[in-house]
Amino acid sequence: MRSRSIGGIEVASVVELERVGLPAAMVFPDWSKDLLKSEPEWTTPTYYDAKDETIIVAMQSFLLKTRHHTILIDTCIGNDKPRNNPHFDRLRLPWLERLHATGTRLEDVDFVCCTHMHVDHVGWNTRLDNGRWVPTFPKARYIFAQQEWDHWQRMSKENKLERTGDYVADSVLPIVEAGRADMVATDHAIEDGIWLDHLPGHTPGLVGIHVKNAGGEAIFCGDMMHHPIQLARPGMSTNFDTDQKQAAATRRKFFEKTVGTNTLVVPTHFPGATSGHVTERSADSYGFKFD
């Protein structure tokens, strides 16, 4: 997805990183090279680098322009952030310029909706200004699921998020301290026809952004799935999932609900076309037709 319309709502993706290679065995605890033979359509170079044994993901945000509001879904990794992951550490990328290229100024954004509070979904919540982390979008309300905030605030205090670096401290807490955060229920409505869907498992308060109107329907499902192979094998949870069993159950429920429908499914990390429709393949196995 680069740009399209959903019933009069303009939608555009704002790409931070087009292709990031993550070691497949690091992402999936049950990764096996046998999958290259059994799932060939999802192990092509678009989605998997056989030489380096890495799965390919994208880092991107989604911008929605309705009649009433400009809504930004997820904010990627961000610039200048000290991180313990070389893919994320102190980046200098033109994400803001790409946002501006959509005709959007920082002050135009009314709502920033983070599907969850992982390092690659909250980074551009803040930007560095004279040595301080300040809200990037000066007029926006930042929508966080209360359940998600409670979990990651506790984790930040307990272990400083050692695996990645404490992104809550520089990308979430400054929003709360500035009074720009709205802590909401996991079924919160942003405006008529746009609401949150609870998709627990990857994180406790992961939400999708559900858009429905007379002209179409779409669900921006965040990290409910990371890679197309999880459609063919819904039980393949990742090492990043807080509750792998719950994550698998959520995927199965989601696929069963959307299979064969006109609901456009928009995962965050699918490279290239990104969005598409869930198609039936066999029992407990699904396909994906890119839009």
Model confidence at 33, pLDDT cuts 50, 70, 90, reads: confident
Q: Sorting pLDDT into bands at 50, 70 and 90, what band is 46? A: very high
Q: Which domain holds residue 146?
A: 3-225
Tell me the C-alpha to C-alpha distance, in Å, between residue 169 and each of 16, 123, 157, 217: 21, 11, 9, 35
> pLDDT band at 291, cuts 50/70/90?
confident
- Residue 19: CB partners within 8 Å, gap ≥ 6? 56, 57, 58, 271
Q: How much of the chain exceeds pLDDT 70, in percent? A: 100
Q: What is the mean pLDDT of the chain?
A: 95
Within a domain: 79: yes
Total of domains in the chain: 1
245 phi and psi angles, rounded to 5 deg: -65, -45
Give the per-residue pLDDT at 264.
97
Query: Is the pLDDT reported for residue 284 higher than 60?
Result: yes
Sequence-distant (≥ 6) Cβ neighbours of residue 238 within 8 angstroms = 27, 28, 29, 202, 226, 244, 247
Q: Is residue 261 part of a domain?
A: no
Query: Cβ–Cβ contacts within 10 Å for residue 216, how many?
Result: 17
Give the tens place of pLDDT for each residue, 8-22. Answer: 899 999 999 999 999
Q: Over the stretch 67-124, which tens digit does the pLDDT of each residue have?
A: 999 999 999 999 999 999 888 999 999 999 999 999 999 999 999 999 999 999 999 9
Give me the mean pLDDT over the 212-222 stretch: 95
Q: Is residue 113 part of a domain?
A: yes
Residue entry with tokens 């000066």: 138
Sign of the torsion formed by the C-alpha atoms of 153, 21, 226 and 38: negative
Residue 107 covered by a domain: yes
Domain with 140 in it: what CATH number? 3.60.15.10
